[in-house]
Amino acid sequence: MLQTIRKFVIDNYLFGEEGKLGDEDSFMETGIIDSTGILELVRFLESTYGIKVADEELIPDNLDSVHKIVAFINAKQSATTQAGGGTSLQSAGRQLK
């Protein structure tokens, strides 16, 4: 999962320059992804991982680095599995810290 997300970010926002992205690097602070780019990233995550990202989940704690995205998706998938589907996490990133 981590490599798939890294590849998407590198291919779509860094034009293939892999050395410019650390797994903990903040997309917003480094200027890698802007607010429009986040929406494109969310569409990718929803289609690739079968999750639904609610508006209230569009926060830096969930989506501001490769590591945070992986933790967020793992928490979403785990909650969906445990609840039998349809559960929305308001801030999965904060719960994993």
The pLDDT of residue 80: 74
> CA-CA distance, 91 to 15, in Å (whole number)?
30
What is the residue range of 65's domain?
Answer: 2-95
Q: Find, among 39, 30, 54, the residue nearest to 72 by Cα.
A: 54
As for how many domains the chain has, the answer is: 1
Query: pTM to 2 decimals?
Result: 0.79
What are the tens digits of pLDDT across the range 38-87?
Answer: 999 999 999 999 999 999 999 999 999 999 999 999 999 888 777 665 44
What CATH number does residue 17 fall under? Answer: 1.10.1200.10
